[in-house]
Amino acid sequence: MTMDALKFYIDGAWVDPLAPKSLEVVNPATEESFARVSLGSPQDVDRAVRAARRAFPAYAATSVQARLGWLERIVAGFRARLPELARAMTREMGAPITFSTERQATVALFHFEEALRVLADYPFEERMGSGIVRREPIGVCGLITPWNWPLNQVASKVAPALATGCTVVLKPSEIAPLSSLLFAQVVHEAGLPPGVFNLVNGDGPTVGEAIAGHPEVDMVSFTGSTGAGVKVAKLAADTVKRVAQELGGKSANIILPDADLRAAVIAGVHACNTNAGQNCQSPTRMLIPRNRRDEAFAAAREAVAAIRLGDPMDPACTMGPLVSQAQFDKVQQLIRSGMDDGATLVAGGTGRPPGLERGYYVLPTVFGDVTPDMRIAREEVFGPVLSIMSYDTEDEAIAIANDTPFGLAGFVQSPDLERARRVANAIRAGRVYLNGAPFDRSLPFGGYKQSGNGREFGVFGFEEYLEVKAILGYGN
């Protein structure tokens, strides 16, 4: 049975698109469509942007206390519907239900809790020199989000935008749109003023580009591929918008000689396979001491053997399918390129896992003896494919880690924290995890180089949505 979710949320109401056009939402575990959403047009975007523009002056002037109240109601509604939100993500993009519940949905909730924490005592005005510095909401924000962490990326943008007093036009991924439509219901029930939050579904070339180029949008925040990010930035340049982007990654995981190699490799393989490898900061290049090659390969095989593929609605499943046929085909091609380029196939390979003939399932794959010039070492695979590379010296490991156009994250393993810190300081990336450090919602997230600009999470993500105004001569 197909579920229709054909309306957009604009100006406080569920409305029909101006020009009806729909898209089927496919369950990647079954390859069957189970829902339909509408694809918007530039005219729909214009309607949403104008609603957000009308709502902005009054919403920007609301008190911190009022905004805290709305955010608290969103948090309460999100918590109440968390199991439903998790199930929607499992069906639309294939994340195992346990992961959808404990990570996908829960981490999204964290961003609203964090925005509440920052907003509660944020100094919007402070004395400086001969005057004061004010921080004011930037205006109408166009938010374009991806399918791999559907609600996490929505929340990491919407929460600070609403907290700072901005109004929003959201375009979630058309591949995984249903969780965002459920989230829009939560926002509606929280009682925000009409026009403060708007949602228009659609594809990137139509709705995404209309948002990026709209003259009444003051800021665009985009998460997705580097190629699409370049397009967004070019479209935004004509109206000199602020652009915040979180783009691709090819993160290095440096296992130093004094680390527990077996434990570090097993943890690194599992980190690379989280969310079926569809993570922008996945540690997809594992750097090991050259003389520990065989030991590392054995540990990698041990880790892969522990992965449980299957029905993502089964709580025992630890890896679901990739999101789409297009993603499946891309990952298969890159696995084939690794084999053709002469890398050693440690585990996995091309084709589907045994017993999983339906669904976009791929074999968790590990390559060894990968050299920096191979495609699998340079391109973002966005699937469960790990490249193990060897080094002789610490300086060589750092050089290999930095030999990439990306700079989103890095990982360093060593019991010597001073040594790990020294290596982390040398990695050109926006976030570095030492020894499996857990996620921290308060610390900034974003990239160097072609991994983007701007930061999300915590106070840094909050300040992306603020303009800085100096008032001179006040109180002299």
SS3 for 135?
A: strand
CA distance 136 to 267: 43
CA distance 197 to 114: 19
CA distances (Å), origin 11, targets 70, 168, 292? 16, 11, 60
Rounded to whole angstroms, the maximal C-alpha distance in the chain is 77
| Token representation of residue 442 | 């308060």
Helix axes 64-80, 82-93, angle to 10 degrees: 70
Which residues lie across from 391 on neighbouring strands?
289
pLDDT of residue 2: 58
Domain ranges of the chain: 3-247+451-472, 252-444
The CB density around residue 425, as the number of other CB atoms within 10 Å, is: 10
pLDDT of residue 264: 98
Domain 252-444 in the same topology as domain 3-247+451-472: no
For the beta sheet containing 385-391, the strands, ordered from the edge strand earlier in sequence to the opposite edge, are 344-347, 365-368, 385-391, 285-289, 252-255, 409-413, 431-434
CA distance 371 to 287: 11
| Token representation of residue 443 | 């610390």
Backbone angles phi, psi at 4, to 5 degrees: -95, 130
**Type of residue found at 368:** G
The CATH number of 252-444 is 3.40.309.10
CA distance 250 to 263: 22
Which residue of the set 209, 246, 456, 464 is catalytic? 246
| Token representation of residue 20 | 């009806």
Helix axes 82-93, 106-120, angle to 10 degrees: 130
Superfamily for the 3-247+451-472 domain: Aldehyde Dehydrogenase; Chain A, domain 1 (3.40.605.10)
Is 246 designated active site? Answer: yes
Block means of pLDDT (10 residues each) for the chain, length 476 residues? 83 96 97 97 98 98 98 98 97 98 96 98 95 97 98 98 98 98 98 98 97 98 95 97 97 98 98 97 98 98 98 97 98 98 98 96 98 98 98 98 98 98 98 96 96 97 98 83
Check: CB of residue 255 under 8 Å from CB of residue 289.
yes
Is 166 designated active site? Answer: no
Which residue of the set 141, 272, 280, 317 is catalytic? 280
Q: Give the strand pairing for 344-347 and 365-368.
A: antiparallel
Backbone angles phi, psi at 43, to 5 degrees: -70, -35
| pTM of this prediction exceeds 0.95 | yes
